[in-house]
Chains A and B, each alone.
Chain A
Amino acid sequence: MTAPSTRPVRKRVGRKGGGPDRDTGATPRRAREGDDRPRAPIRTRGLTKLYGDLVAVDHLDLEVQAGEIFGLLGQNGAGKTTTILMLLGLTEPTEGQARVVGLDPARRPLEVKRRVGYLPDAVGFYTDMSGRDNLRYTARLNRIEREEAEDLIDEALEQVGLSARADDPTETYSRGMLQRLGIADALIKDPDVLILDEPTTAIDPLGVTEILDLLRALVRDRQMAILLSSHLLNQVQSVCDRIGIFSAGRLIGQGSMHELAARFGEDTAHVEAEIEPPADGGIARVREVLAAIPGVVDVKSPARSSDPWVIGVRPAAEETRVRRAILAAATSTGLDLTSVRVAPPALEDIYRRAVDRATHGHARDVR
């Protein structure tokens, strides 16, 4: 029975407490990927929003698939929040269209909002009510039966690590706790799509790891589509499958880290090498040896002795050969090499370069 009609069965199983779902999570997932799932839960075409003369969002084409975390990166005022509000039907687009879970949020906002969990930027709660009561209100607004709601609330609170403080009034919560509660609040309706506006800004580093793990688990087990906006680059880098870079209302680049690196990385790879400074000649000698390797364009000596050397390689495809060459050079010249590895492309660099390029390109257009 399970095999031919996986999806409807899953629908029934849905989530009774989440436990069974997580256990069987792997099987339906594969089945789901098997049956052609063409339509992305979030899709926009030429989505545009004008505030008077100000272009907040400029012809945005975006797709977020089920089972994927998409990170929206951008400066303040780049149009991230406006985009999110349009996806929720809270603001009408000036032009273009959006489809969320296959529906137009501007015309069928209720069904969209029923299935999309949203954590607003600077989320707030009713301060005189407890965290649990706040979630109960959300459950009531979503027409979730009382008993089921209690289970869902317990589970959501557990997931965000707030069970112990759930019955305290939210005015006693810290900013980070409010954000955790906000995530729980978005999970109450068991959404198909999760939209998180700056989800981790106020959460402490350990908490961030927990939250990011939770997001990964949701994507893995429940096949959610998650769209999150953030300006914390390393978090975006660590958790997102794909990243979109936003600047002045336009999506100036999107793709996985590797795709972005290929596009905006100026075709340079970086190799990190830890080398004990040799007695004869010291740093200058190491630099000489490294710079002599073909393909190396840039050699940075470490600022502190514990740091590695950073060697720039262009074209990036040469990186493997250069690493071998470093090993060979170390052996032949007697350098005390302790490790060689590829430095992961830094989102920060990519981001900076993408924005630079976009603004310069834009300036050229204007001229």
Chain B
Amino acid sequence: MTAETPAVQTPTTPAAPTRDRRGDAAIPSRRERSVPHAGWMVVAGKEFADHLWSSRFLALLVVLGLAALIPMYFAADTIRNAASQVTGASSIFLFLFTLAPKVGDTQVQLPGAWEFIAIVGPLLGIVFAFDAVNSERSDGTLPRLLSQPIYRDDVINGKFAAGLAVIGLVLTFIVLLIAGFGIVRLGIVPSAEELLRLTFWLIVTFLYVSLWLAFGLLLSVLIRRASTSALVAFGTWLLLTFFGGLITQLIGGFIAPITGSLEQQASNLSVQQTISRLLPDTLYREASLAILNPQVAAISNPATIGGYEQAAQRVPSLQSFDQSILLVWPHMVTMLAIMVACFALAYVRFMRQEVRA
């Protein structure tokens, strides 16, 4: 059979040397070369496998699992005690995620499962990205990787894709864990709408964590040492999570102090709220609440006195799923925008960096 294949190639081979010698004609190769494509998938596949086998994956699974299960455990108790008195509430199942439970008979109140995830979630993003590019650099694998037949952006795209996949996996696992455990302990099966809300909340959480993944990736491109990049990433996380509110309050109080007429106070309050939404943390908390709790009818403070009056007159009712989504749509778009901005910056910087350290 070998005799036939060359026959097909013969017409092209002799032509090659006579063709413009200075031109771009490739010197015939000894081996058939398929032009490779989708290099990012190969990179992503390798990175994904690396993540799954890494100790940090296991550690995070344990940390996040505990962070989600412990409040859930106490929340389930509270719900069980209260469930008999509740009538008509359609979101008992989601209380598993939102309820901030008391521990036994003590006054200690734990944050709800979703709040735990709001705090620990960024870790998940950072951990899988902070050393993505700079470790390749310091290990000397980057020149070798880039000399393979892939485009340069395949490397960063693949790494980001692998990070997203791992995040998706971990988050889905945790939500299923809570839900499964809740079903067993409470004996309540979630309704279709609750499932829908839960899935959507999973997407919002995924966006939130991906945002931190993109941030970590950016740091890994900008900062040459993995340890420095980790320090900066975790520092930012601590700062924003625990002092972010304080900082935005300070800024808000400076720019739009709550003084003057009622009308002015209302509008300044709304400005302050906008400023606080510069924090991804705030965005995520507001969005989570609105999705997980159908009773939340508005997440923005009205900007006028009239708005407050209207809000006061509103009959408290449960929001339908699509109404809740409308409420959090801007939040999601903002989180997506921050994520895209971080990734784009990382991408551009990576493409322009010299291969050599």
Interface residues, chain A, CB within 8 Å of chain B? 1, 5, 7-15, 36-39, 41, 81, 85, 88, 90-91, 101-104, 107-111, 113-116, 118, 120-128, 137-138, 140-143, 182, 185, 189-190, 192, 222-223
Contact = CB atoms under 8 A, between A and B. Distances in A.
B2 A124 contact: no
Nearest to A1: B3
Contacts of A12: 2, 5-6
**Which of the four size classes fits the interface of chain B?**
35 or more
A190 B270 CA distance: 65
Given A101-B27, A113-B150, 7 more contacts: A10-B30, A90-B147, A109-B151, A114-B33, A124-B139, A138-B144, A142-B36
B31 A38 contact: no
Contacts of A113: 147-150
Interface of B: 2-3, 5-6, 9-10, 13, 17, 21, 24-36, 39, 42-43, 45-46, 50, 139-141, 143-151, 354-356
Given A103-B24, A114-B149, A138-B148, A15 B30 contact: yes
A123 B150 CA distance: 18
Contacts of A101: 26-27, 29
Contact of A123 (B6, B29, B144): B144
B139 A5 contact: no
Contacts of A192: 27, 29-30
B222 to A, nearest CB: 20
Interface centre among B36, B50, B144, B355 (most CB of A within 10 A): B144
A25 to B, nearest CB: 12
A126 B139 CA distance: 7
12 contacts: A7-B28, A8-B5, A11-B32, A90-B355, A91-B355, A101-B26, A102-B25, A120-B143, A122-B140, A124-B139, A141-B43, A141-B149
A312 to B, nearest CB: 43
A284 B75 CA distance: 104
A80 B31 CA distance: 29
A332 B15 CA distance: 68
B144 A185 contact: yes
Most B CB contacts (10 A, CB to CB) among A12, A14, A37 go to: A12
B21 A39 contact: yes
A41 B45 CA distance: 33
Given A36-B17, A39-B21, A137-B46, A110 B354 contact: no
Nearest to A41: B27
A9 B9 CA distance: 10
Contacts of A124: 139-141, 144
B35 A110 contact: yes
A37 B3 CA distance: 23
Contacts of B354: 91
B150 A90 contact: no
A111 B149 contact: yes
A141 B149 CA distance: 7
A81 B145 CA distance: 16
A190 B31 contact: yes
Given A113-B149, A124-B140, A7 B13 contact: yes
Contact of B144 (A9, A111, A120): A120
A110 B150 contact: yes
B6 A102 contact: no
B30 A104 contact: no
Contacts of A90: 143, 146-147, 355
Given A9-B2, A124-B144, A190 B30 contact: yes
A90 B3 CA distance: 39
B6 A5 contact: yes
CB-based closest 8 A-B pairs: A124-B140, A8-B6, A120-B143, A114-B149, A118-B147, A141-B148, A102-B27, A124-B139
A114 B35 contact: yes
B150 A120 contact: no
A125 B35 contact: no
Contacts of B32: 11, 14
Contacts of B140: 120, 122-124
B148 to A, nearest CB: 4
Contacts of B42: 137, 140-141
B356 A182 contact: no
A271 to B, nearest CB: 44
Contacts of A128: 50
Nearest to B150: A141
Contacts of A190: 30-31
Contacts of B144: 118, 120, 123-125, 138, 182, 185
Contacts of B46: 137, 140
Contacts of A103: 24, 26
A108 B24 contact: yes
Given A110-B149, A126-B139, A141-B39, A5 B27 contact: no
A179 B25 CA distance: 33
Contacts of B39: 141
Given A14-B31, A141-B150, A143-B34, A8 B13 contact: yes
Nearest to A82: B356
Nearest to B12: A8
Given A110-B150, A114-B35, A137-B46, A11 B141 contact: no
B10 A5 contact: yes
Contacts of B356: 81, 85
A81 to B, nearest CB: 7
B181 to A, nearest CB: 33
B13 A115 contact: no
Contacts of A140: 42, 45-46
B152 to A, nearest CB: 8
A115 B30 CA distance: 10
Contacts of A15: 30-31
A8 B43 CA distance: 33
Residue from B13, B31, B145 with most neighbouring chain A CB atoms (10 Å): B31
Nearest to A43: B22
Contacts of B149: 110-111, 113-114, 141-143, 189
A231 to B, nearest CB: 17
Contacts of B24: 102-104, 107-108
A11 B139 contact: no
